[in-house]
Structure 1
Amino acid sequence: MATAGTERGTRRRRGTGVGVLVAAVLAAGPVAGCTTSDGPRDDGRGSPTRPGGQDSPPVLAVKIDNAPAARPQTGVDAADVVYAEQVEGGTSRLIAVYATELPESVGPVRSARESDLELLRQFDRPVLAHSGAQSKLMPLIERAPLEAVTPGSEPEAYTRDPGRSAPHNLYLRPERLMDDPPGEAALTTGFRFGRPPADGEPRNELTVRYPASRTTFTWSDARDRWLVSMDGTPALTAEGERLAPATVVVQYVTVRPSGFRDFLGNNTPYTETVGSGEATVLRDGRGYEANWSRPAAEDGTSFTTEAGERMNFAHGQVWVVYAKTP
């Protein structure tokens, strides 16, 4: 996958909210917390600016099904960042964020959750593709600083796979929303990339467990990547290749009950991504104990080692798995 990008135009779809959004973003000023190899630059007012002081169109974030029936997913390997969070019943779902590459298809696409709104505040009015949400959550989504794209609002951007059963058969076609990816400058995650810190211990494997699912990352010297397994089974692309990020972050956060329940009465967990805490970072076959900080929802998340050194990530795809603080 691409790890760097240029700022290119995004399709202005006449008569759609996406087109209006892109025009507004291109006219907007700099935003904070961008991702670059050297980190964000300070504009003299205490806020980091994007490289060259340029603005870019918004990132595309897609809510992706992670139930066994939804695997293998499509397009996850092309994402710059993949977030994994706990949902009802102790299972997990993914949010894939695209800035430097747009795959032909992404999915299966599923519904949004309240936690997604806080998580995505770090990006400047992102486009969030999802299949919908329960009626009580919809007003929050409508007020959030993002552009929600659903089959109802942009039916031409979605397709159904006749070989799969609903609800695991809905797919997004990103090229029907954007001509080109927005570029690396749109990744306002706060992540820094570069040489690894001096500390860290050799590590071959790490498993994150939710009440009803587990995700395992195993180091591959041959691939120079962390191979992903879901519930004990290799996680594959639609073409049969292993999902394999360069950096894995297990971020320990507060996971609390939200005010929402599914149709079975299960409470939807709320994952708090603003604040500070501990993390384990995997890169280059080593594990690093780290600290994370995100002071406000508009900020990206910074990571430091226990010694206070900046925690650089390896160039390539990053997976962030939110785990409940022990």
Structure 2
Amino acid sequence: MTLPALGRAWTAATGTWTGRLLSSLAVGALAITSIVVLSDDDADQTTTGPGTTTSTVAGPTSTRGGGEAPTTTAPGTTAAPTTAPPPTLPAPPAEGLRFLPEDTPDNGSAAPLTGLPVPDPGTLGRAALAVKIDNLDVPGESARPQTGLAFADLVVEEVVEGGITRFVAVLHSTDAPAVGPVRSARTTDVHLLPILGTPLFAYSGGNPGVLAAVADAPSIEDRGGEWAPAYARDGSRRAPHNLYLRPWEIWARSAGATVPPPLAEFRPRGQGSPVGEPVAGLALGFGGAAGAPASWRWLPEEGRWLRQQRGSVHLDGAGYAIGPRNVVVVFTDYVESPVDTRSPEAVTVGSGEAWVFTDGKLVEGRWQRDSLDAPLSFVDGSGAPVTLSAGRTWIELVRPGTAAVVR
């Protein structure tokens, strides 16, 4: 069975497909040379691991976030110029959106990364599994749809070369089908992942400097490379967007990893945010010739923020629309990676401006992280911790001036 087929089988076991994908909206042509696209692949360089895989398987906007530079502990300058986000949200999506259910009973223990009750305490006793996911999305070549993305408790979007972004999908409280396409690590990951305690880290490889940094990181359990049976290539998809991970194989090799600490304080399901300004959504522009503009639109009937990328609804490979309960924008500098001057590295230690989108509202505040072994926290304008809606969360690591609130 191929990995996409495995995903379809998983979907059949967990819910009924609507069978209808949403129509993509027309987008303007993007001028990009093959050199720009290949620069992302060049940065991966050598993939290493304990073995090789042999199987296949609307309204006015306000652009902010640029008035105050973050206070950080990392030296350097911004690795690439900023790009203003699009002025409006894409058109409203068609009907028939399908989201991963969160209808678990209230008698379970709360998951640390979602605040949702989980009936099986054994699930909560395992480590977080962070998987590096491809998000190249240009005319003629795209990693979409990504398999397993909707199952992640937490997703972090970070900028790599050429304005391309990649996702760190953090799996913990929910079992997932195969996840991918899996791509290479960056030094941003080395500094970011300790907010999860000591997580398992799955990725396809990296340049020698990145691989050494991951291996030397005391708070990361390295499960990268490309080795069977955990990793497999899907022959029906074009390389390099065809490497998939079987997460249960990594959880079976979790020695040294730890249970993640709470991401934040979560409000009970159905309880609204006591603070914040009602807004319609958020628009993002990541800069670079290959950057794919993204947006988030509040759906009050669903109580979710709907992600759209390049003007179309962002769907998981199983047909689920990406719709977390919270979206957090972390404004920070990107500096040159110490192991590759072409590669931007997000500064995630220090403090800076943050926007927390929760319960249809925007809470403006700051992000704080005192050291590599400290959690990433969010406070409002008065310095009080910002509470999140119980459910999944996306964190956007963006440069100042690249986000716009849509009211």
- Does TM, scored on the shorter chain, surpass 0.5? yes
**Alignment partner, residue 352 of structure 2:** 277
Q: Would you say the 8 A contact 2:328–2:357 is kept in 1?
A: yes
Q: Would you say the 8 A contact 2:114–2:390 is kept in 1?
A: no
**Alignment partner, residue 364 of structure 2:** 289
Q: Distance between the aligned counterparts of 2:400 and 2:316, measured in 1?
A: 30
Q: Distance between the aligned counterparts of 1:168 and 1:66, measured in 2?
A: 9
How far residue 309 of structure 1 moved from its aligned partner, in angstroms, is: 2.6
Considering fraction of residues, name the structure with more strand: 1
1:100-249 superposed matches below 5 A: 100-145=173-218, 146-152=220-226, 154-178=227-251, 186-188=259-261, 190-194=263-267, 195-211=271-287, 212-249=291-328
Q: Is the deviation greater in 68-77 or in 233-242?
A: 233-242
What is the alpha-carbon root mean square deviation over aligned residues? Answer: 2.6
The structure whose Rg is larger is 2
How far residue 62 of structure 1 moved from its aligned partner, in angstroms, is: 0.2
Q: Which protein, 1 or 2, shows the higher relative CO under an 8 Å CA cutoff with sep ≥ 6?
A: 2
Q: Distance between the aligned counterparts of 2:174 and 2:259, measured in 1?
A: 12
**Alignment partner, residue 10 of structure 2:** none
The counterpart of 1:67, out of the listed 129, 136, 139, is 136
SS at structure 2 position matched to 1:109: coil
How far residue 292 of structure 1 moved from its aligned partner, in angstroms, is: 1.3
How far residue 197 of structure 1 moved from its aligned partner, in angstroms, is: 4.5
SS at structure 2 position matched to 1:110: coil
Give per-residue Cα distances to partners, 1:126-176, cap 9 Å, x unaligned. 110000011222211110122222344x42101111210100000000122
How far residue 241 of structure 1 moved from its aligned partner, in angstroms, is: 2.5
Q: Would you say the 8 A contact 1:98–1:181 is kept in 2?
A: no
How far residue 36 of structure 1 moved from its aligned partner, in angstroms, is: 8.1
Q: Distance between the aligned counterparts of 1:196 and 1:251, measured in 2?
A: 22
Q: Would you say the 8 A contact 1:109–1:168 is kept in 2?
A: yes
Instruction: Assess, with a 3 A threshold, how the Cα gap between structure 1 residues 284 and 164 changes in structure 2: closer, same or farther.
Output: same
The counterpart of 2:149, out of the listed 73, 76, 82, is 76
SS at structure 2 position matched to 1:122: helix
How far residue 115 of structure 1 moved from its aligned partner, in angstroms, is: 0.7
Q: Distance between the aligned counterparts of 2:126 and 2:393, measured in 1?
A: 21
Give per-residue Cα distances to partners, 1:19-73, cap 9 Å, x unaligned. xxxxxxxxxxxxxxx6685xxxxxxxxxxxxxxxxx9442100000011211010
Q: Would you say the 8 A contact 1:63–1:129 is kept in 2?
A: yes
Instruction: Assess, with a 3 A threshold, how the Cα gap between structure 1 residues 299 and 72 changes in structure 2: closer, same or farther.
Output: same
- 1:207 partner letter: A
Structure 1 unaligned runs (5+)? 8-33, 38-54
How far residue 305 of structure 1 moved from its aligned partner, in angstroms, is: 1.2
Q: Would you say the 8 A contact 2:152–2:170 is kept in 1?
A: yes
Q: Distance between the aligned counterparts of 2:318 and 2:229, measured in 1?
A: 25
Identity %: 34
Q: Would you say the 8 A contact 1:219–1:227 is kept in 2?
A: yes
SS at structure 2 position matched to 1:210: coil
Give per-residue Cα distances to partners, 1:251-286, cap 9 Å, x unaligned. 11121122344xxxx711110111111111111111
Instruction: Assess, with a 3 A threshold, how the Cα gap between structure 1 residues 320 and 292 changes in structure 2: closer, same or farther.
Output: same
Instruction: Assess, with a 3 A threshold, how the Cα gap between structure 1 residues 132 and 210 changes in structure 2: closer, same or farther.
Output: same
- 1:77 partner letter: A
Structure 2 unaligned runs (5+)? 1-100, 116-123, 402-407
SS at structure 1 position matched to 2:127: coil
How far residue 310 of structure 1 moved from its aligned partner, in angstroms, is: 2.1
